[in-house]
Amino acid sequence: MSLEITFLGTGSAFPSPARGASALVLRREGRCWLFDCGEGTQTQLMRSHLRAARITKIFITHLHGDHIFGLPGLLCTLSLQSSPDGSSRAPVEIFGPLGLRSFLRRSLELSHSQLLFPYAVHELVPTPDQCPPEEFKDFSGWDRGEEGPPGRVLRLDPGEDSYLLLEDEQLVMRAFRLFHRVPSFGFVLEEKPRPGKLNVQKLKELG
């Protein structure tokens, strides 16, 4: 499995002329997975060899602004690059902490933005021990009774220490809890074992 990692931004709190806010792209088999989308991510993408239209999955570590303020704008740009019926691109899957769906919906609604492609928001339900008690907020009821993009709500199973996000014949993608000022997640990409091939005739010749 061939993987390529491109750092688009490593800055903290705010971007600078020489360093963008948090964003990283993992390219796999021509598809791009974006991790965090700080302010200026679109500009950094334009400066790179990557194409925004290749982004099929987005993973958000936490809801601090330097990790998410670029996301609504990026989605709008992807929409402008889509055909009117949305048939030119696959659905974009977005993973992140509980509250991400509400942030996106409000941002797009208040800016009168309509996305011309399908997308889904999969929210990870944090546990109260992921941040200082006074910083923990329960966003579980914010979207009750309101329509929004499709997506799953992922809870930590009893006895487990990670959330299963994706799995195919080559890899497994999981999220695990981090301690920060607000609930935060790290992401782990694991390649499945690849059985080798034995040259039986050569083994026989070698005894």
The pLDDT value given to residue 75: 96
Give the model's pLDDT for residue 20. Answer: 87
The parent domain of residue 143 ranges over: 3-206
Q: What is the pTM of this model?
A: 0.89
Q: Angle at CA 132, nearest 5°, toward 128 and 136?
A: 50
DSSP state, 48? S
pLDDT of residue 88: 60
Which DSSP state fits 139? -
Encode the chain (207 residues) as per-residue pLDDT tens digits: 789 999 999 998 888 888 889 999 999 988 999 999 999 999 999 999 999 989 999 999 999 999 999 999 999 999 988 777 655 667 899 999 999 999 999 999 999 998 989 999 999 999 999 999 999 988 888 877 777 788 999 999 888 999 999 999 889 999 999 999 999 999 999 998 888 888 888 999 998
- pLDDT score, position 76: 95
The count of structural domains within the chain is 1
Active-site annotation holder among 66, 85, 161, 168: 66
Dump strand ranges (E) for the chain.
3-9, 23-28, 31-37, 55-59, 92-97, 119-124, 153-154, 162-167, 171-178, 184-191
Q: What is the dihedral of CA 66, 72, 78, 79, to 10 degrees?
A: 180
- The CATH number of whichever domain residue 181 belongs to comes to 3.60.15.10
3-state DSSP of 73-91: HHHHHHHHCCCCCCCCCCC
- The yes-or-no answer on residue 66 being catalytic is yes
What pLDDT score does 166 carry? 95
User: CA-CA distance, 83 to 61, in Å (whole number)?
Assistant: 30
- Provide φ and ψ at 142, rounded to 5°: -65, -35
